[in-house]
Amino acid sequence: MDDLMREISLSPAGISKELDQNIVGQKSAKKLVSIALRNRWRRQQLPPEIKSEITPKNILMIGPTGVGKTEIARRLAKLINAPFIKVEASKYTEVGYVGRDVESMIRDLVDVSFNIVRKLKFNEMQNKAKESAYQVILNKLVPANNPDTSSPLPDISAADNKQPTPETPNLDATRKRYYKNLTSGALDEKSIELEITQNSSKSMFEVIPIMGNEGIDQLRNMMSQMMPSSKKKSQVKIKDALKILTAEEAEKLIDLENVKTEALKRAEELGIVFIDEFDKIAKSHTQDTSSISKEGVQRDLLPIIEGSVVNTKYGIVNTDHILFIAAGAFHAAKPSDLIPEIQGRFPIRVELDALTKEDLYLILKEPRHSLIFQYQELLKVEGVKLVFRNIALTEIANIAFELNLNHENIGARRLQALMEKILEEISFAAGENKGKTIVINAKFVKDRLQNILKKQDLARYIL
């Protein structure tokens, strides 16, 4: 766990700077989540008796859709390779009702954690597994108990191409020549027969969704143990066989029990649960059945957020130190409409700013993988160079701002919709424009969006 915690040894200023690379504005929110992340590292430096007393300071983000709430939480988790899940509060129901129970979010978090740790272990074993894969392929090409190597060797140098006499076959020298060509890629296109493992237990349950996800997972695991995997012989190229065998050998080298233990620890110490639409479970002022159900969901969430144990297929998870970030627009409801106990479990509150024209302009071009960069890279694959004038980006930002202001405010998501419309014809005919440079200016933007603007103007006068 010490190595794991070194991953978040950035200062709060350093964490905030990293977030700036991908998210425009929202300085207050970045500052708070940076402190929350740094506090995790600080906690790990304390003596055990103090460390156990310090719990995460959960965060409540308040702001309209599309301003960066989810992205801040997701990027924060990605920065430290932490288990992260996003859930919607409105999808959960009070215990006793049909629907997902709140503990399922912790089980989902541990699933993510297990996959992270397994991937890390898999990568650690790559070199060793690849060497084992080479040996498996080598044994198929030059069997240890059969010195017959009559098959021609591709691209073997004259110095290495000393064929053994039939009376005294030099198997070691032959294997060395094959190994050299195998590792250099000279044998990539040669085909060998390979037994490929197949497991049909998963496909059985893809077509019979007779229960919740947890039930399917448990049944699938049980059936995979009861039904042994089958193997099918196939002719595959050596370059493909190498990938298949490396993956299989790496799986053999991984200690799954150790992976489970580390996954549980990572989920407990670094896990982040982002609960969106939190305002949708705030109680209504009118005491109807819907209001009672919403309060019930809050009360079910309370022990998970306060700290409890949840049983998962990998073992018991303690939720004491999982960081919960809740978010919502809070237009119809207010944070004070949440039950007092829940309010107390989210001591840090931050209001995110609505996006300005300048914000929308910066979102188009400033982030590390901005929208215009993404479209430029996509069309580069087709040999088309896409150039955006600054005046065009200003025009797109202005139109997005006006549409958000006068119609439904969907924040930065509006930019994606506009960009798709602007580049629709270019993307469609990209294959015919190979080698060309296409310049996007303000006139081009207006011409492509005029129909949308007309429809939006007309919508104002239709009931």
pLDDT at 102 (0 to 100): 85
**What tens digit of pLDDT does each residue of 381-427 get?**
999 999 999 999 999 999 999 888 888 788 888 898 899 999 988 99
Give the residue range(s) of CATH 1.10.8.60 domains in the chain.
357-459
Residue 287 has what pLDDT?
54
CA distance 415 to 55: 39
**pLDDT computed for residue 136 by the predictor:** 84
Q: What is the pLDDT of residue 90?
A: 82
Q: Could you give the CA distance from residue 61 to residue 272 in angstroms, rounded to a whole number?
A: 14
Please name the CATH architecture into which domain 357-459 falls: Orthogonal Bundle (1.10)
User: Residue 287 — φ and ψ, nearest 5°?
Assistant: -80, 80
Q: Is pLDDT above 50 for 267? A: yes
- Burial (CB count <10 Å: 0-12, 13-18, 19+), residue 200: exposed
The whole-angstrom distance between residue 407's C-alpha and the CA centroid of its chain comes to 32
Please tell me the predicted confidence (pLDDT) of residue 288: 52
Domain with CATH 3.40.50.300 in the chain: 2-120+260-351
> What pLDDT sits at residue 209?
43
Query: Does 92 score more than 90 pLDDT?
Result: no
Model confidence pLDDT, tens digit, residues 146-175: 544 444 444 444 334 444 444 445 667 787
Rounded to an integer, the average pLDDT of 73-82 is 85
**Max mean pLDDT range (22-36, 93-107, 204-218):** 22-36
Positive/negative CA dihedral, 284, 286, 287, 290: negative
**Residue holding tokens 């059936």?**
223
Secondary structure of residue 289 in the 3-state scheme: helix
pLDDT of 377 reads: 93
Q: How crowded is residue 285: how many other Cβ atoms within 10 Å of its Cβ?
A: 9
Contact 409, 354 (CB under 8 A): yes
Q: Look up tokens 């156990």; give the residue.
A: 52
- Of 95-109, 125-139, 396-410, the range with the lowest mean pLDDT is 95-109
Which tokens go with 91?
Answer: 């999808």
pLDDT at site 83: 92
Q: 3-state DSSP call for residue 281?
A: helix
2-120+260-351, superfamily in CATH?
Answer: P-loop containing nucleotide triphosphate hydrolases (3.40.50.300)
Cβ–Cβ under 8 Å, residues 308 and 319? yes
> Over 50: is that where the pLDDT of 294 sits?
yes
Tell which residue, 115, 119, 38, 33, has the closest CA to residue 76. 33
Tokens coding 138: 């080598």
Cβ 276 vs Cβ 328: under 8 Å: yes
Cα torsion 17, 19, 23, 29: sign: negative
| pLDDT score for 171 | 60
Instruction: Calculate what percentage of the chain has a pLDDT beyond 90.
Output: 23
Q: What is the pTM of this model?
A: 0.74
Residue 31 near residue 12 (C-beta atoms within 8 A): yes
Q: What is the pLDDT of residues 23-65, one digit of tens each?
A: 888 888 888 888 888 888 888 888 888 888 888 889 999 988 8
Instruction: Evaluate whether 71 touches 23 at the Cβ level (below 8 Å).
Output: yes
Alpha carbon distance 334, 321 (integer Å): 27
Name which of 184, 126, 120 is nearest 156 in CA terms. Answer: 184
C-alpha–C-alpha distance, residues 238 and 249, integer Å: 16
Query: How high is the pLDDT of residue 372?
Result: 92
Q: Name which of 105, 28, 36, 97 is nearest 67 in CA terms.
A: 28
CB of 73 within 8 A of CB of 272? yes
Residues 433, 381: contact at Cβ < 8 Å? no
pLDDT at 75 over 60: yes
Q: What is the pLDDT of residue 44?
A: 82
